[in-house]
Amino acid sequence: MMKSKLVFALVFLVYPFLSSARHVITFRSSTSLQPSSLAWDPIAQHFVVGSISGPTVHAISDAGVVEHLLSDPSATGADGSATSVAVDPVRRRLIVGFSNPGSIAAYDLKSYKRIFAVPLLEMDTIPGGVAVDLRSGEAFVSSTKRGVVWKVGLDGAVRVISESKIFGDQGLGGVVHVGRGYLLIVQTEMGKIFKVDSDDGAAKEVLSTGSSKPLASAGHAVALHPDLSLVVATNRSVLLVKSDDSWAQAAVHDKSDLEDGLTVVAVAIREGKKAYVLVKSQEGFRIEEVAWEKESEGDMVWGLVLIGLGLAYFMFWRFQMGKLAGSLNKKHA
């Protein structure tokens, strides 16, 4: 009986290390909700998603409850799409990039009333990503049509800050503001990552450390981890890219491959810790926590260490009990 209890206790202790379970949020999509972008609102404690099927934004709770936040066809047009979203928690604003035609809008996160909505300088553009400088409140928008980056002031004033030749003739994808005066932008077609000065727009390609291969092949969405590493979403996987020289060079530090039949749509960081991805399957959409390969391997190692320690303790306990039983038998004899 004692042996079975010890085994049960051991399994109970190591199960969290051996289990591959992660946080998954399932929700129901609709004709007005075909998610295209993802952000986390730390104050409201829910995810925010833009929709490719209309100029609408919704909130998704941990329980998968969908809440309609806003619909603003006058900001873009009845056929527009909310292709990019970003949360400014300092000023409690939601920044939305619309397409068809291309525009950028800001909304109050309490009332969801519009603060401003302005057309981008190229009406046919599709925003590849939106990022916010939390210090200044300025927003940055990339274009999937060509290599151009816009800066948007607190008053909605839009200007081009970068049309660098280094972008070539390819468009740009997701963008993050690092907080040290520069942006990191992924280029989907070429799999490149660019470091762009957020003031003068000077751009450099982030080189792949020790490799000639692109850093982020098919990368289209990005999020900034608190340790300043870059989480890159590709169609079938998520990459954790790190740099130790202020992004002159970088390397893939970890990755997470999705199950067959799943496609990554967008990525976000929750509570400044965990990476989450918006994924699409034949059944619909869901939001799930990223399970990194190296973290999973580390959990497995710790689980095996605990099992070893538990078995060693159990064998020692059996040895001691055997000695005690032997000494008692000698006394009775």
Vertex 319: Cα angle to 313 and 324 (nearest 5)? 125
3-state helix, strand, coil in the chain (%, to 5): 20, 40, 40
Tokens for 274, please give them: 């965990």
- Do 220 and 190 form a contact (C-beta atoms < 8 A)? no
Residues 6+ apart with CB under 8 A from 304: none
- What is the structure's pLDDT at 210? 86
Q: What pLDDT, on the 0 to 100 scale, is given for residue 212?
A: 86
- CB-based contacts of 291, cutoff 8 Å, min separation 6: 20, 22, 256
Structure token pair of residue 152: 């948007």
Strand partners, 127: 143
- Contact criterion met (CB below 8 Å) for 221 and 233: yes
Cis peptide before 101 (omega within 30 of 0): yes
194 three-class SS? strand
Query: Could you give the C-alpha distances from 135 to 121, 211, 214, in angstroms and in order?
Result: 25, 35, 32
23-290: which CATH topology? Answer: Methylamine Dehydrogenase; Chain H (2.130.10)
Reported pTM: 0.83
Per-residue pLDDT of the chain (333 residues; tens, 9 = 90+): 555 544 444 444 444 444 456 899 999 988 889 999 999 999 999 999 999 999 999 999 999 999 999 999 999 888 899 999 999 999 999 999 999 999 999 999 999 999 999 999 898 999 999 999 999 999 999 999 999 999 999 999 999 999 999 999 999 999 999 988 999 999 999 999 999 999 999 999 999 998 888 999 999 999 999 999 999 999 999 999 999 999 999 999 999 999 999 999 999 999 888 999 999 999 899 999 999 999 744 444 334 444 454 455 545 546 566 665 666 565 555
β-sheet bridge partners, residue 193: 186
Radius of gyration of the chain measured on its C-alpha atoms: 25
Burial 46-61 (b: 16+ CB within 10 A, else e): bbbbbbbbbbbbbbbe
| pLDDT value, residue 62 | 97
For the chain, the domains span 1-20+293-325, 23-290
Residue 243 is predicted with a pLDDT of: 98
Backbone CA torsion sign across 59, 64, 67, 71:
positive
